[in-house]
Amino acid sequence: MNTTLNNDLRVYQVITSAGKQFFCNIEQLNYVIGSECKKGEFKIYHFWNNKPQRLTKKTLKEMFEGSQLQQEFNY
C-alpha cells in the first residue's frame, strides 16, 4: 500500500498486532485501518515535537472533528 504524506499536516503511525507499520495523514487513516487492520488489534500514534505519542479515543475523536472528517472505525 502506498500513501503520499503531506509534511504540512500531522503524521500518524498505525501499528498492527502483527507488527506492520503504516504512516499516513488523517485523510488516509480510515482507509489504512479499514483495509489493513483487524478490529481492536492496532495502536495509533501521532508525532508531537518529533516524539511518538499514543492517541486516546478522546484525542482521536477531537482530531477527526477538527479536520471535519468522519471516523469510520472503532478505536
pTM for the structure as a whole: 0.86
Angle, CA of 47, 50 and 51, to the nearest 5°: 65
- Delimit the domains of the chain by residue range: 12-66
d(CA 34, CA 32): 6
pLDDT tens track for 25-72: 999 999 999 988 888 899 999 988 889 999 999 999 999 999 999 999
Better-predicted residue by pLDDT, 60 or 1: 60
CA distances from 29 to 1, 2, 64 (A): 13, 13, 10
Q: 62: which 3 cell numbers?
A: 477531537
pLDDT tens track for 48-61: 888 999 999 999 99
Does residue 2 have a pLDDT over 80? no
Instruction: Please tell me the predicted confidence (pLDDT) of residue 54.
Output: 95
Contact 22, 62 (CB under 8 A): no
Q: Please tell me whether residue 38 adopts helix, strand or coil conformation.
A: coil
